[in-house]
Amino acid sequence: MLYHSESMKVSWEKEGIAKLVFDAQGAINKLDTRTIASLDEAVACLEQTPQLKGLIITSAKESFILGADITEFLTLFNAPAEQLTEWLNFANRLFNRIEDLPVPTVAALRKFTLGGGCECALTTDYRLATDDLRIGLPETKLGIMPGFGGSVRLPRLIGCDNALELITQGKIVTAGEALKLGLTDGIVQDDELINGSLMLLEQAISGRTNWQAQRQQKKAALQLHPAELQMSLITAKALVRQKAGKHYPAPMAAVNGIEAGAKLPRDEALRCETAHFVPLTRTLTAGALVSLFLNEQYVKGLTRQQTVLRDAPEQAAVIGAGIMGGGIAYQSAYSGIPVHLKDIQPAALQAGIDEAVKLLEKQCQSGKMTVVQAAGIRAAIHPVRHDNELSDCDIVVEAVVENKVIKQKVLADIEQQVSEHCILTSNTSSIPVSELAQALKRPHNFCGMHFFNPVPKMPLVEVIRGEKTSDDTIAAVVHYAHKMGKTPVVVGDCPGFFINRVLFPYLNAFSLLVSGGADIKTVDRVMEQEFGWPMGPALLLDVVGLDTANHVQHVMAEGYPGRMVVEEHNVISLFAGLKRLGQKSRLGFYRHIDDGKGHLQKQPDEQLEEVLAPLGRTPRDFTADEIIDRLMIPMVNEVIRCYEEGIISSPAEADLALVYGLGFPPFRGGIFRYLDDTSTRAFCEKAEQYSTLGPLYTIPDSLRAHAVNNTPYYPQPDSHPVTAQ
């Protein structure tokens, strides 16, 4: 044994050839500050071993290295820029020492080799992989860029165009793709990974391969004609501006860093990378995206706690074969859980089956699924007409019309046909679960399971706990949602639950703003381009359907009469009454025209102002800040109330649910992150200016309490990074 620590060991694999094995405590390897300190010691040991002729770097885990330790990021980001720069310089000097060892080196890679793990692999002369390799530099998805030499070595290894694409998009490629790119040098079976690495090294040691040339290419300036380089950079910048936009600065910073270091040798180019990396860590975007990632891990942990308590259902049923029902049935079958799809109307049942078939066809057309696989999934969806065909079900999802009386009858009828252990759920979007449970004999076996449309694309499922819902039922439904590939978040019971409850104050505020004279197209543009929503409130209402929105706003008004009152003259009711229902009627706030490819394109409606005339409004201009404040303050207030009441259990769950369920801008991290970044005190001071607009704008008591001392909702990171020197 040449070296041993809690995260790695170095030993002789064969005479003259050493093997450095990453083997951290726990299930995965990651490049945290402690591991980097150990790597520093291990490399020093190798540098002092005169009999060394070659080196293999590999992992004892299922994957190589999943990247840096993201739990350390916020602490590192919070450090003074000079300290962070010095720490990065230290890490880069360490990686350079691996690359500069006087012997050939090979990285033996399997499964996930991401971020810092990929950058570590780039330091070696050769990379050999198993066919399950997934490799890439996804740092831009966290609001930063490669910081351990990835933006320097990758362009020199696989070409500038390829590297720019992988880095700016944060792409993760397969073993086959990596081989084509030149990112790896071969693919072998898992049990041949070390033997194959030895063969590569022996060829290099004997002089049959020129490993020094491989190395020199990565250490030199980028070998590309100036005109070609300029064209690559211009194209990359144009694509970044188009796809990332101004709210996500990391991809453009990566391009600029590569450009700055392109004609410089390795060490100078690395300093350019660091100079572009450090400012990104100061951005709110990086903090928000890292926070969002940590929230994902937190919610996954909660899900794991539930899934160990109860097996996933083996046979499901969906009652109501509309678009939602067909989507839920498809998702269940796609995830390996056979499903009965029931509707009393033959035409509706066929429509649900057709929806599932359409989704399967799209998968086949995109190459994500074979026709045989699609046929197997279709066969797992069994259309039924009668309740007595559901006796073998473990779980039932009711997805009929959003009407309390109808839902209660359907659920009561189903309960009589299934076993006493069968779980019943409702896909209601607004009706309190405890009210629906009043019709049931076994309310402990019942909860809400609220999917979002379109089901295959939307990752969130709200699991709603009623007054009498058992823990076992919650565990079963969470497991089912998880098995379906969804992110379940358990919420408390109330009208609208969490997502719709916080959405409708936002939509009510939009209605008030329109009645106050705001230009609808301007409001949408501001909320999309300035705040960052995927669509503005008017387009969102068109997509949801103005009839649906009108129904739900009255449900919410009944549930929260003091705050969500529906004004007699409001734009949502007006449009619903005029049958301007949005996309479903091809006319709402916009005209929706079929583009001939199965997509609807919005177009302005020249008659919009005439349609709005019954509101008696006087058109006026609002600043972008006014529009954002008027729409967002009611949503923030309602989120805080949900937290106060225990409807949502933590800021982490709330923020993840908002991003996954509503499309809240990821670069803002969610409402609680938005509040922390704004500061609770500054938010309350701003909100006070709008207090005359009504109860939607009344600041909750707990938020005022936070504002007194400017207390954040998330724990604050340490002020200094852990040093590795």
Distance CA 356, CA 505 (A): 34
The answer to whether residues 425 and 473 touch, using CB atoms and an 8 Å cutoff, is: no
Tokens 């070296």, residue?
3
By C-alpha distance, which of 635, 535, 625 is closest to 583? 535
Paired strand residues for 637: none
Distance CA 439, CA 421 (A): 17
What are 283's two structure tokens?
Answer: 């951005």
215: Cβ contacts below 8 Å, ≥ 6 apart: 99, 125
17: Cβ contacts below 8 Å, ≥ 6 apart: 53, 54, 55, 56, 198, 201
The answer to whether residues 343 and 325 touch, using CB atoms and an 8 Å cutoff, is: yes
- CB count in 10 Å sphere of residue 344: 14
Sign (positive or negative) of CA dihedral 659, 663, 666, 671: negative
The answer to whether residues 690 and 629 touch, using CB atoms and an 8 Å cutoff, is: yes
Catalytic residue check, 450: yes
H or E, element range at 172 = strand 172-174
Sign (positive or negative) of CA dihedral 527, 531, 535, 537: negative
Distance CA 114, CA 110 (A): 11
Distance CA 526, CA 523 (A): 5
User: How many alpha carbons lie under 13 Å from residue 135 in its C-beta half-sphere?
Assistant: 32
- CB count in 10 Å sphere of residue 493: 20
Catalytic residue among 450, 479, 592, 706: 450
What are 97's two structure tokens?
Answer: 């020492």
281: Cβ contacts below 8 Å, ≥ 6 apart: 76, 77, 84, 144
Distance CA 121, CA 116 (A): 9
Distance CA 185, CA 224 (A): 22
> Cα-flanking dihedrals φ and ψ of residue 491, to 5°?
-130, 160
The answer to whether residues 508 and 553 touch, using CB atoms and an 8 Å cutoff, is: yes
Helix, strand, coil shares of the chain as percentages rounded to 5? Answer: 55, 15, 35
User: How many alpha carbons lie under 13 Å from residue 496 in its C-beta half-sphere?
Assistant: 23
Catalytic residue annotation: 450
